[in-house]
Amino acid sequence: MRGLKTLAVIAASIVLAGCASAPAAIETVEPSAATSAAAASQPTSRLGLTCDDLLSPVLVANVLNTTTVTTDLMVRPASASPLGYSVSQFGGSSCLARGEEAAQSWVSVQVLPEATAQWATYAEKNTDVVTGASSSFGDASNVSCFAFGADSTCSVNVLVGDNWIEVIARGIAVEPSLSNEAVAEFAAPLITDIVSTVTNAAASGPVGAAPALTGVLPSDCAVYATVDEYRAAFGTAEEVLIGRQSDGEVWGIDNAAATIVAVDGCTWVPASTGQTWPLYITALPGGEWAFDRSSALMTADDSAQTVSDSVAGVDRATFGCQVYSGFCTLDTVIAGNWVQFSAERDLIGTEDEVRALLIEIAERAVARFPA
C-alpha cells in the first residue's frame, strides 16, 4: 500500500526531493484577508526561529541568482493537506524563499525538533545517510544534488542535536558543465548557515497543547465509511479493503512529523487493484488552525471554495477539485480537528456529485464519532 508521502503526491502533485529531473515551477498564493474571526492560533516555533532567521536573503540570492521573497512554506497549494502542516503542528518551522521573478526558483526549509527517534527510522530507510565526522553537515546528513545547469536541485536532510532539518532548493543557478558534487559545494554556504542557526537556537520549548474542547477522532476507519457504504457510493460489488495509510519506502520529515502528531489516514482500496485509493481520509488532530490557514490560502485563488451550506456536525468546510490529480477534496473542521475527505472524481461524476457524496460521508461519519 502506498504511504503518506505518496498520498501527498496524489493530493497535491508534489515533486519529490531527489528526483533526477528538472524542477517544475512552484505555484504560490497569498492568504485572503477574509480569514475567520474565530481562527485558532497557529503553534509557534519551539526553537524561537522565524523564517527570516533561517533563510538569509543574501545566501539564498547567491544560490538562486535572483532576489527572493521569504514566507511561510504553506503558501504552496502543494502543502494544502494535514500531512503538509505536521511539522508546524509540532512547533517546528516551515519556510519558503521564492524568486520574485522566477517562480521555478525556490528554497524551502523545515525544522522538526525532538526528532532523534524519527531520524533513526529515516536513516534505516536511506543508506546514503552519513554520520559523525564524515557528515557534510551537523551530526548526520544525507545530501543529494543534481546538475541541470540553471535548473539544478539539491535535497539535504541534516540531524543536528535532536533537530531534523530538511532543505530543498530548486533552480540553483550554476554553469551547465558543473557536476552533482560541484552543485552541492555551491549550495553548501546556505546549508551551513541554516544548520548554524538551528545549532545556536534556544533549547526546544514545550509542545503546545490542543484546545480543551478538541474532540476525539475515531480509531476505526469504518466509522467514516463501511464496506457496504463504500460500495453503494462507488457503484461496485467487489471486495474492498479498509486500511490505514502506511509510510511505505518514501519517508521524510513530513512523515516523521505526522507520526509524532498522530496524523491519521484511512483508505478504501478495491481488492482487484490494491494500488488505487478511490476514497481516502486524512485527519490532523487539533488541526483547526491549520485548516484555517490552508483555507485562507486555497480560497484566495479559487483553488477551493467555502462550503456555505450547513453540514451537520461540521464547523466549517471548503471544497475543491484538482485537475492534475483527478481528486476532489472536502476539507472540514470537526470538533477542533482538520479532517480531509478525498475522492476520485471520474468514479463518481460531476464536481457537484462528488461534493454531495463527500458531504454525505462526512455527516454520517460525524454522527458516529466517539463522544
What integer pLDDT is reported at residue 39 of this predicted model? 55
Q: How confident is the model at residue 100 (pLDDT cuts 50, 70, 90)?
A: confident
What are the beta bridge partners of residue 284? 338
Q: What element of type H or E holds 152? A: strand 152-160
| pLDDT at 3 > cutoff 80 | no
What residues are paired with 164 via a beta bridge? Answer: 112, 159
Question: Is residue 94 pLDDT above 90, yes or no?
Answer: yes
- The DSSP call for residue 116 is H
- Overall average pLDDT of the 49-68 stretch: 94
Q: What is the pLDDT of residues 102-133, one digit of tens each?
A: 668 999 999 999 999 999 999 999 999 999 99
| Nearest partner of 287 among 72, 141, 1, 87, judged by Cα | 87
Using the predicted structure, report yes or no on whether residue 341 has a pLDDT greater than 90: yes
Residue range 276-309, pLDDT digits in tens:
789 999 999 999 999 999 999 889 888 899 999 9
3-state SS class at 235: coil
Distance of alpha carbon 342 from alpha carbon 245, whole angstroms: 14
**53 backbone dihedrals φ, ψ, rounded to 5°:** -65, -40
- Tell me: pLDDT of 25 over 60: no
86 Cβ contact partners less than 8 Å away, ≥ 6 residues apart: 254, 257, 258, 260, 261, 263, 284
What pLDDT band is residue 35 in, cutting at 50, 70 and 90? very low
pLDDT at residue 163 in the model:
98
Comparing 11-25, 75-89, 160-174, 290-304, which segment has the lowest mean pLDDT?
11-25
Lowest mean pLDDT among 15-19, 267-271, 297-301, 334-338: 15-19
* CA gyration radius, the chain: 21
Neighbours of 20 (CB within 10 A): 10
DSSP 292-317: HHHHHHHHHTTSSEE--S--TT-SEE
Tell whether the model's pLDDT for residue 81 goes beyond 70.
Answer: yes
**Integer Cα distance of 276 and 262 in angstroms:** 23
Residue type, 14: I
User: What pLDDT sits at residue 279?
Assistant: 96
**Alpha-carbon gap, residue 233 to 35, rounded angstroms:** 33
Label residue 261 by pLDDT band (50, 70, 90): very high
User: What is the rounded average pLDDT of the residues 8-32?
Assistant: 36
> What are the strands, taking DSSP E only, across the chain?
68-72, 93-99, 106-112, 130-131, 140-146, 152-160, 163-172, 240-244, 264-270, 279-284, 305-306, 316-322, 327-334, 337-344
Cα distance between residue 85 and residue 40, in whole Å:
14
Q: How much is the pLDDT for 9?
A: 37
Mean pLDDT of 64-76: 86
pLDDT for residue 338 is more than 60: yes
- Residue 371 is predicted with a pLDDT of 78
Q: Specify the pairing of strand 279-284 against strand 305-306.
A: unpaired
Q: What is the pLDDT of residue 102?
A: 63
The per-residue pLDDT for 28 is 38
Q: In the beta sheet, which residues pair with residue 283?
A: 264, 339
- Residue 370: C-alpha distances to residues 29, 85, 216, 218, 220 (Å): 36, 24, 6, 6, 10
Identity of residue 41: S
* pLDDT exceeds 90 at position 168: yes
Whether 265 shows a pLDDT value over 90: the answer reads: yes
Q: How many CB atoms lie within 10 A of CB 143?
A: 22
Domains and CATH numbers, the chain: 4-199 (no CATH), 221-366 (3.40.1000)
Question: Is residue 33 scored above 50 in pLDDT?
Answer: no
> What percent of the chain has a predicted confidence (pLDDT) above 90?
68
pLDDT value, residue 21: 36
Query: Which tens digit of pLDDT belongs to each residue from 189-245?
Result: 999 999 999 999 988 887 877 777 899 999 999 999 999 999 999 999 999 999 987
The pLDDT-based confidence of 26 (bands split at 50, 70, 90) is very low
CA pair distance 335, 337, nearest whole angstrom: 6
CA-nearest of 142, 122, 337, 344 to 247 is 122
Determine which of 11-15, 85-89, 341-345, 359-363 has the lowest per-residue pLDDT on average.
Answer: 11-15
Q: How many CB atoms are located within 10 Å of the residue 84 CB?
A: 26
Q: What is the pTM of this model?
A: 0.86
Q: Which residue has the higher pLDDT, 67 or 221?
A: 221
Note the pLDDT of residue 189. 98
Residue 98, phi then psi, degrees to nearest 5: -120, 150
Burial (CB < 10 A; 0-12, 13-18, 19+), residue 142, is buried
